[in-house]
Every structure is written in C-alpha cells, then in structure tokens.
Amino acid sequence: MGQREIARAVQKDDSAHTTRIGKPLRVALFGFGTVGSSVARILVESRPEGLELTHVFNRGVARKKVDWASKNVVWSEDAGGVLSSDVDVVVELAGGLEPAGSWVRRALESGKSVVTANKKLIAFHGVELERLAAAKGGHLKYGAAVAGGIPVIPGLEQGLAGDRIERMQGILNGTCNFILSRMEAGAEYATVLAAAQAKGYAEADPTEDVGGFDARAKLAILMRLALRVVVDPEEIIPQSITSVTAVDFSYARDLGCTIRQVARAEEREGNVAATVGPMLVDLRSPLAWSRNTENMVILTGKYGGDVVFSGHGAGGHPTAVAVVSDLIALAHGSRRVEVPSVPAKIGAEFEVPHYIRFLVVDRPGIVAEITGTLARERINIRAIVQKAGYPAHALPFVVTVEPCKSSTLKRALTSIGKMDCLLEEPLNLQMLE
C-alpha cells in the first residue's frame, strides 16, 4: 500500500471514529437486577461519551422502574420488541444458557453488538457466538464474565497477547472466598453461608458457587484466552467446599497454610490439566491474602513470568464497571481481538502433594492400614498429624503425601474407604506449593 492509500485509510478510520462518538450508541439492558441497575446508574451519573441508555427489558418491569433514569428510557417486558428496535448494543445480564442465549444470538444475527457478563453462555458457546458476531459485523464483548471488575480478559486479549501463558491459577468465585476466609477466622459454614445470602453474594440455592460450577465456567473461558485451548467445561470435575470444616483450617494452620477455592489449569506439550476445588494454599502465597469477595488470578508466561490480577470479584458495582468499560470500548470503535485457539481434551493430571483428613472411631492398627495401602500405590507419606482434645469415637487426623497423581491417590482412597473405622469419606485436598 502506498503513502496516499495509507493516508486515505487513516482518514476513513478517523471519520468513522468521529461519527461514532458524534452519534451515541443506543444501549438496551436485558436484566435490571443488581448488576443491571448498577450499569444504568453509571451510565446516568457518569454519562460516558458516546453512550445512551434507551431500553430496559425485564420481566415484571413495572416494579423495576426508577425515577433517576432518563424519562426517554423505554421500559419493556417484550424482549422481541426491544431486539427488533433500533438499539445498537444489547447488554445481556440475565445469566444462564436460555433464554439469554436466544436473545444474544438474535441480537448478533441482526448485526447488533452484545456485551454480556454471562460466564456460562460464554464458557459453553463463546466460540460459536464470536464467529456469528464476526460474520454479521457486530462485536461480542464479555470482560465482566470473569472476576467482576478486574480487567483479566482485556489484559489477556491485549496486555499479555505477546506472551505464551503456560499455567494459571486463581480465586474466581467471590462467594466461596467470602465463606472460606470467614471460616478461616473461626466462623461455621452454615452461619457464613447465611450471611453471604443476606448480603446478596450467594443465591438461595448456592450450589453453582459452593459446588465449583461457577468457577469452572470462568476457568474454561480463561483457558481459551490464556492457554489458547477450547475445552468442554463439563470435562472439568469440580470439588465442593461443603466438606471443609473448622478442623481443616486448624490443621492447615499447623501446616503453614490456609484453604481457598482455587481454579487452576496448565498446558504442557499439548497436554492440558484443569481442576477446581478447595485447596491448601501456603500462607506466603498471594492467593492466601485474598479475603472476602476478592478475586485473584495469577498467570505465568513463558517470557513475562508471573502476572497477578486482584480486586473485587463480586457485587453489582465492580461487575458493572467491567460492563460499562466494554460499552465505552465499543463507543470508541474498539475492534474485535482475534485470539487463536484449538480444541483440546483434558487428559493430563497435576502431580502435587495432597492433604487427606480422616474422621474415625479410634482403634489399634488404623495408621498401619492407611500407610500400607498408600505404600502399595507407591505414594510417599510426608507427615501424619493428630491434634489432642478430640474424642476417640470421632477422631480427626491428617495424612499429607508427597506429590502424586490424583488418579493414583484415588485408587488408594477407594481401598481405604472400605475400612470399618471410618465415619465419613476422607477429605482429599490438593496442596499448592
């Protein structure tokens, strides 16, 4: 391309930019809950250049109306009517696969852009939806889908695009972090869960959060952007935090650790490993410093080393900040970032130390049986820890083992699980070092 052609291309881009800012993007909110109302509040109070809130869709929308929004905003219960209107951007904040997926597809099919915080939709259908957006001339942005207001996704798409990320680990669910950090301070699970629900951090049915499914969806998204692999989220088997008790935090402290729900993944020579669940974290690790609803993501690049993202990962305002940031990027002519990725299967395993807590009716020979079973699987024991003060009819003690494959340890624990002295299934947690 010659100098004259380059100049014309630059002038064309400048002209498009001016036109875009001169005529605000018309924005429709789908969902006016905690995040949706926060997005509207920012748009009304901050008045970002190039954006205009024109429509709000919600079921039972009459009860959602607020007096601080512009009188020109159309409040509607007709999703189809809003989607067929002249809005430029649909902000989907309803969550879930359906009907949100149908709304997003219809918006993209008509050439509109979409901004969403829907991690499940992006985890399961993100690649398909990005292709649709590109084919129809729109954009799909989802910076709020992972880690709330922390700019992890923009950081991966742009700031770290020049590196090769080899592994990642992080705290991706603010609800679980709130619960576990409060339990670390001495509270009971049920009490903290009730407090999380009262504050709006946890749903009435908290399974998505405490069961690890929410973090699993977010991990799958980050794996595509960081490790450049597309995986089926359901191949990642999450572990619930509900089996963690106060005694585990007590033993963890003795081992110089605490407990956090951690999502981690790595890729080595084409082999991908990924897992989500409560893990023992060294007190010197940045992950141990994260409290309450904070999220943290640690990315390790081949060239740039470790990069840490940290901040508030839950709540209406932090998530709304990410949504509005995506909207501002669209208003200023942001282009779609191409992130090449390949389909992959999760076939590798982490080889890490493990913490195993047993609860038994005490009798002679228990430790010998456990150590013998572990030895037959060639698993080396690191330590056996037993606190005083617990009754013989419900005695908790801990065995930590040297790095081993999870599948090998699972075989050993299946055999150990047949012992007549066990009161419950042993709790097996990975230990991050």
pLDDT, one tens digit per residue, over 301-355 is 999 999 999 998 777 899 999 999 999 999 999 877 788 899 999 989 999 999 9
- Please check the confidence at residue 7 and state whether its pLDDT lies above 70: no
Q: Return residue ranges of the chain for CATH 3.30.70.260.
A: 352-432
Tell me the CATH architecture of domain 3-141: 3-Layer(aba) Sandwich (3.40)
Give the tens place of pLDDT for each residue, 388-397: 999 999 999 9
For the chain, what percent of residues have pLDDT higher than 70? 95
Q: What is the DSSP letter of 9?
A: H
- pLDDT confidence bin for 236, thresholds 50/70/90: very high
**37-51, 220-234, 254-268, 303-317, range with the lowest pLDDT:** 303-317
Where in the chain are all domains bearing CATH 3.30.360.10?
A: 152-313+336-343
Q: What is the pTM of this model?
A: 0.92
* pLDDT (0 to 100) of residue 15: 35
**CATH code 3.40.50.720 region(s) in the chain:** 3-141
- Pick the residue with more confidence: 313 or 31? 31
339 or 132, which is more confident:
132
- pLDDT value at residue 199: 85
- The question of whether 302 is a catalytic residue gets the answer no
Per-residue pLDDT at 71 exceeds 80: yes
What's the pLDDT at 235?
A: 96
Residues 6 or more apart in contact with residue 136 via CB below 8 angstroms? 108, 109, 110, 111
Torsion of CA 229, 330, 146, 220, to 10 degrees: -20
Confidence of residue 10 (pLDDT cuts 50, 70, 90): very low
**Catalytic position from the list 218, 302, 345, 410:** 218
Q: Which CATH number fits domain 152-313+336-343: 3.40.50.150, 3.30.420.40, 3.20.20.370, 3.30.360.10?
A: 3.30.360.10
CATH class (in words) of the domain with range 352-432: alpha beta
Distances 387 to 112, 241, 408, 429 between C-alpha atoms, Å: 62, 22, 27, 19
pLDDT band of residue 149 (cuts 50, 70, 90) is confident
Q: How many other C-beta atoms can be found within 10 angstroms of the C-beta atom of residue 340?
A: 5
pLDDT at 181: 96
